[in-house]
Amino acid sequence: MSEEKFEELLQKVSPFIQKKDTLLRESLPARLILQVPSTEKEWNDIENEFNIKWNFPTCCGAMDGKHCVIRKPGCTGSEFYNYKHTFGIILFALVDANYCFTYIDVGTNGRVNDARVF
């Protein structure tokens, strides 16, 4: 690729890949509205959808966690130190068969595993 083509491409994608100050911590609680399934029927509907759409019977959600690197909080010792040898918090989510969030937890210390967050 020529240098000119590279620069042209870079100009087109730069707005999408540049780091932005999102102020996530300040805005998340005000913007996040999530209705966790609370009845047996709601959970059964999710289970049926997994079976129909993905041929995955008796599944009520797909879960995963993401370690988000942070600066070590003061006076916390190794509480936030994780197996990746960084300090972090865990973003944990459960989704239904259509990739819609049914449960979210943000901020658990990075030392614990997904099962303990759940």
Q: Within 13 Å, how many C-alpha atoms sit on residue 97's CB side?
A: 19
36: pLDDT strictly greater than 90: no
Query: CA 25 to CA 95: how far, in whole Å?
Result: 22
71: pLDDT strictly greater than 50: yes
pTM value is 0.61
CA angle 45, 51, 57 (to 5 degrees): 100
Q: How confident is the model at residue 22 (pLDDT cuts 50, 70, 90)?
A: low
Query: CA 111 to CA 109: how far, in whole Å?
Result: 6
Domain boundaries, the chain: 34-117
pLDDT recorded at residue 47? 96
